[in-house]
A and B are shown apart, each in its own frame.
Chain A
Amino acid sequence: DAKTTQPTSMDCAEGRAANLPCNHSTISGNEYVYWYRQIHSQGPQYIIHGLKNNETNEMASLIITEDRKSSTLILPHATLRDTAVYYCIVRAYTGFQKLVFGTGTRLLVSP
């Protein structure tokens, strides 16, 4: 019951910006967009989340369109260690909601 659509895979050159898109056209007004990543053989790692304003932290930036139907996770200077599966998840912030993972985007960062 994932509510997002992401490309299966993407490539990025080391040092360049990685822009990972996510479509969430059925997002509700009380749902946030969360991004996680899973590096091979490790547990998922929280990256960032947002409601409608753009967000930035030490790991990445999140750009959400004005209609909130899509978003882009930006890794400004991708490194080889950013190679991972990236999951875009929508989840209501109020009340208890499960975090439902989809199939994600496999990002390969190459030298």
Chain B
Amino acid sequence: DTAVSQTPKYLVTQMGNDKSIKCEQNLGHDTMYWYKQDSKKFLKIMFSYNNKELIINETVPNRFSPKSPDKAHLNLHINSLELGDSAVYFCASSHHRNTGELFFGEGSRLTVL
């Protein structure tokens, strides 16, 4: 049983396309996150939801739109993909918003051509 699962693991697409990455956690956690790891391996937080409510929205282009249909799911939709969006996107969850113990998924590698 994978605690935090992301799909797809790999995604190759053309510039200008729209794509989504899905994330599900079966840990019963209240809080979920999206992190981006670029080619230089820097991990940066993008968004966080707590019980379906957006609580962190970093300086991310509005082409990125997270959606949390319920507290077990946090999806990331990206419009008009650009070359610079190529990265590994990690979903994570935590028991509640105040803890620093996060459980990460295996990542989704997005390549924009």
Cβ contact within 8 Å between B55 and A96: yes
Q: Specify which chain A residues have a CB less than 8 angstroms from the CB of B44 in the assembled complex.
A: 101
- Complex CA gap A62/B105 in Å reads 25
- Complex CA gap A98/B97 in Å reads 9
Q: Specify which chain A residues have a CB less than 8 angstroms from the CB of B103 in the assembled complex.
A: 46
Which A-chain residue is minimally distant from B96 (CB atoms)? A96
Name B's A-contacting residues (CB within 8 A): 4, 41-45, 48, 50, 55-56, 90, 92, 97-98, 100-107
Query: By the criterion of a CB under 8 Å from any partner CB, how many residues of chain A are at the interface?
Result: 23
Nearest-neighbour CB distance to chain B for A59, whole angstroms, equals 13
Q: Please tell me which one of the listed residues A45, A49, A95, A100 contacts residue B104 in the complex, with CB atoms under 8 A apart.
A: A45
Q: Specify which chain B residues have a CB less than 8 angstroms from the CB of A97 in the assembled complex.
A: 100
Q: Please tell me which one of the listed residues A42, A46, A103 contacts residue B107 in the complex, with CB atoms under 8 A apart.
A: A42
Which A-chain residue is minimally distant from B31 (CB atoms)? A96
Cβ contact within 8 Å between B102 and A44: yes
Cβ contact within 8 Å between B100 and A103: no
Interface residue? A17 (CB, 8 A): no
Cβ contact within 8 Å between B100 and A43: no
Q: Specify which chain B residues have a CB less than 8 angstroms from the CB of A94 in the assembled complex.
A: 98
Cβ contact within 8 Å between A44 and B100: no
Nearest-neighbour CB distance to chain B for A42, whole angstroms, equals 6
Q: Please tell me which one of the listed residues A41, A49, A100 contacts residue B45 in the complex, with CB atoms under 8 A apart.
A: A100
Cβ contact within 8 Å between A93 and B90: no
- Complex CA gap A74/B25 in Å reads 30
Q: Please tell me which one of the listed residues B43, B98, B102 contacts residue A46 in the complex, with CB atoms under 8 A apart.
A: B102
Nearest-neighbour CB distance to chain B for A41, whole angstroms, equals 8
Q: Please tell me which one of the listed residues B4, B55, B100, B106 contacts residue A93 in the complex, with CB atoms under 8 A apart.
A: B100
Cβ contact within 8 Å between B106 and A43: yes
Q: Specify which chain A residues have a CB less than 8 angstroms from the CB of B41 in the assembled complex.
A: 85, 103
A96 touching B105 in the complex, CB below 8 Å, given contacts A43-B90, A44-B90, A85-B41: no
Cβ contact within 8 Å between B100 and A49: yes
Which B-chain residue is minimally distant from A44 (CB atoms)? B104
- Ordered by A's residue number, 23 sampled pairs between the chains whose C-beta atoms are within 8 Å are A32-B100, A34-B100, A34-B101, A38-B43, A41-B107, A42-B106, A42-B107, A43-B90, A43-B105, A43-B107, A46-B101, A46-B102, A49-B100, A93-B98, A93-B100, A96-B97, A97-B100, A98-B56, A99-B102, A100-B45, A101-B42, A101-B43, A103-B42
